[in-house]
Structure 1
Amino acid sequence: MDFDYTWLLAGLPLAFVLGWLASRFDLRQLKMENRQAPKAYFRGLNFLLNEQQDKAIDAFIEAVQNDPDTQELHFALGNLFRRRGEYQRAVRVHEHLLGRGDLSREDRDRAQHALAQDFLRAGLLDRAEAALQKLEGTRYETEARLALLAIYERSREWAQAATVAQKLDESDQASYATRRAHHLCEQAAERTAAGDLDAAGELLRQAVELAPQAPRPAIDTANLQLRNGEAAAAFDTLANLCDIAPLALPLFAAALQQAAIASQRTGEAIALLQRRYAASPSIDVLEAIIAMGGSPKVPDQDPPADTPPEPRDGYIAHLTHHPSLVAASRWLAKEQFNREQFHPQVQRALDQATRPLMRYRCAACGFEAHQYFWHCPGCQAWDSYPPRRVEEL
């Protein structure tokens, strides 16, 4: 049976026409979709520039639906959700990106970083920690380590914070020696509270070796020595610190006084504190001198005429050159008056008025506290508190 080629010749033009029509339809559809996606994108951008975030989000969602393969639209949408505080929606967008198999390594790292930021802003520190750890070895490594360091410090996980700070220190981008010393001091404080004084002493020794110019390791070491009954060693530690960090003297003047009395070296301590007080007067240094029976050496001070000097006359000497409500209140506390029955009421009023003046204030955020903090509880900054009270700033 012979095959009839007539039908084949007749069908070729028809197939060509049908193919041409199908291609035209696909091209037209593709062009329409491509026009719709950029139009929605630019409309969303316009809303964003006009600070109309609700309309911008709607436009970006439309653009993503028209072209789900556009990574940049996903990132823009996720960032918008995060800025608006809609962290769950931001997490869904970035997790959707990470779930795609065709995502490049660079975009995958970027999405992982954005997801970690979502968790951080939402306060989900455990999930943020896990997300940040996956950025090790990426171009976001340093930023991730800084975020991890902040998480560990906020949650007081000092061993993990020390490990991350050491990695940052080894990267040679900045020095973290003082910060690492703080971490060791915090661990030493925990060991001291647990009664393991030997471990605390070793941690403090490492802190001093790591940051010999920082005052905290030496102060904590002296306090531990006092606790162990090593008053002479504590005095030597603090006397040496006076030369290394003289501006921090108000923070450890009381400890120096305690060590001097316990080791019977008050004369040496008074002479040392008098020299430092003359160079930089401070109410804390003044009170340490007075507590040991001494008096501050104030330039151009006239000696008392009639009565023999008393240690608390040091407050008057201080007031001569440095007006201080705190010093005035301390002096009045033991002064005798003709109408002594009203003295307690007056003294209570003065104590109430001077209490805010005895606070320490963070130079970074302004947080005030009666206790001195090496790590500000308000802004989490280190060494942001000046060693002087609010009245003396």
Structure 2
Amino acid sequence: MEFDLAWLLWGLPIAFVLGWVASRLDLRQLRIENRQAPKAYFRGLNFLLNEQQDQAIDAFIEAVRNDPDTSELHFALGNLFRRRGEYERAVRVHEHLLSRGDLSRAERQRAQHALALDFLKAGLLDRAEEALRKLEGSAFEEQALLALLAIYERSRDWVQAAEVARRLEAAGQGNFDSRRAHYLCEQAALADAGPAEALLRQAHQAAPSAPRPAIELAALQRKAGDAAGAFETLSRLGQSSPASIPLLARPLAQYAAACGMEGKALSLLKHSYELSPSLDVLDAIASLEADGQARDWYVRHLEREPSLVAAAKWLADERLEHQNYHGRVQRALEHAAKPLTRYRCAACGFEAKQHFWQCPGCQAWDSYPPRRVEEL
């Protein structure tokens, strides 16, 4: 069969035209998809700004389908899932990003950091720790160290927390002496008397002006029967850190009474009270003074400060004209004054009957002022 050259001459133009049409259709489809992706993305942003997270997620999912190679859409979607508490979906999004081979180093580190935050928010501390450790040497290293510090504090791994604090300090993230002292005190609370004393002295060396190591060391000395040593420990703290005297006033008075150092204790407490009146210092002075003089101190305080707490304590020993009603009046005053004797966290406002070194509400360290609510 002979080949007809005319077919070739006709076929080449037809093939060219068909190829051109196909390419135009592909380009048109690509333009449509590219137009749809930004529209969906901006719709998602609009919903997000209007706090319509459900609609924002739907829009971002549509944008990802139209343009699956855009990493920014994945990050936006993953962050939305995390904010909504859908941690499993957030993990899948960020793990998908990490599995891509075309991701740049910076974006890979960003995805690794986002994945670590997913695990952290979900409470999967072991997986969060593993993910955060992979960020060593990256642009997110300092953020990762701060997150690791929170994990170790939460899990009460004080040795690891101290090491991370040391690294953060070396990186210029602030002074962590006081926090490292707290870690040593926490370890001392779980140790026997001998190791506990060594840990508390180490904590005092790490942060000489921090009140906790000295207060807990004095308590340990008193428990061992060394009331004089305990008194001297608190006296030195009161002289070096006057602001901490309200915290140590009551044990100082107790230790002084046990070792016959009432005069020295009263001198220190009265000097502190004259500089800065405090309910705890007032109570400590009253406990060391004679009965008549003790009540006079509450009257002096009322002349300086309008205190319901001090008024209730003065009235406790006062003889009223209508003695039959004294108990009821006293109970009413004590009930009204009770909330005023609490401590309040300066970071989150959490109130507690006792003074905490770490806030139970927000986990902040040293956020409780050594003053009662009435004095703030």
CA distance in 2, matches of 1:31, 1:141: 45
Give the structure with the larger helix fraction: 2
TM-score (ref. length: structure 1): 0.86
The reply to whether residue 362 of structure 1 matches residue 351 of structure 2 is no
**1:12 CA drift (Å):** 8.4
Residue deviations 1:153-197 (CA, integer Å, cap 9, x gap): 233332332222121112123111111111111121222xxxx11
What's 1:76 paired with? 76
User: Does the 8 Å CA contact 1:41/1:59 hold for their aligned counterparts?
Assistant: no
What's 1:378 paired with? 361
What SS class does the counterpart of residue 371 from structure 1 fall into? coil
Aligned partner of 2:229: which letter? A
Aligned partner of 1:60: which letter? F
Give runs of aligned pairs for residues 303-314 of structure 1, distance below 5 A: 309-314=292-297
Deviates more, 1:95-104 or 1:137-146: 95-104
User: Does the 8 Å CA contact 1:315/1:330 hold for their aligned counterparts?
Assistant: yes
- The alpha-carbon distance between structure 1 residues 91 and 242, as it changes in their structure 2 partners (threshold 3 A), is same
**1:376 CA drift (Å):** 0.8
Residue deviations 1:20-68 (CA, integer Å, cap 9, x gap): 7446524632552243134222333134225354444333323322332
Residue deviations 1:369-388 (CA, integer Å, cap 9, x gap): 11001111111111111111
What's 1:279 paired with? 275
- The alpha-carbon distance between structure 1 residues 8 and 215, as it changes in their structure 2 partners (threshold 3 A), is farther
What's 1:140 paired with? 140
TM-score (ref. length: structure 2): 0.90
Identity of aligned residues (%): 58
The reply to whether residue 267 of structure 1 matches residue 263 of structure 2 is yes
CA distance in 2, matches of 1:78, 1:391: 46
Aligned partner of 2:341: which letter? M
CA distance in 2, matches of 1:13, 1:214: 95
Aligned partner of 2:22: which letter? F
Structure 1 gaps, min length 5: 296-308
What's 2:37 paired with? 40
- The alpha-carbon distance between structure 1 residues 131 and 31, as it changes in their structure 2 partners (threshold 3 A), is farther
The reply to whether residue 350 of structure 1 matches residue 324 of structure 2 is no
User: Does the 8 Å CA contact 2:40/2:63 hold for their aligned counterparts?
Assistant: no
User: Does the 8 Å CA contact 1:169/1:177 hold for their aligned counterparts?
Assistant: no
**1:210 CA drift (Å):** 1.1
What SS class does the counterpart of residue 376 from structure 1 fall into? coil
State how many pairs are aligned.
Answer: 372
Q: 1:334 aligns with which of 294, 313, 317?
A: 317
What's 2:375 paired with? 392
CA distance in 1, matches of 2:353, 2:8: 96
**1:13 CA drift (Å):** 7.6
The reply to whether residue 237 of structure 1 matches residue 220 of structure 2 is no
Give runs of aligned pairs for residues 24-103 of structure 1, distance below 5 A: 25-26=22-23, 28-50=25-47, 51=50, 52-103=52-103
Aligned partner of 1:204: which letter? L
What SS class does the counterpart of residue 310 from structure 2 fall into? helix
CA distance in 1, matches of 2:257, 2:188: 26
User: Does the 8 Å CA contact 2:341/2:374 hold for their aligned counterparts?
Assistant: yes
What SS class does the counterpart of residue 156 from structure 2 fall into? coil
CA distance in 2, matches of 1:202, 1:8: 103
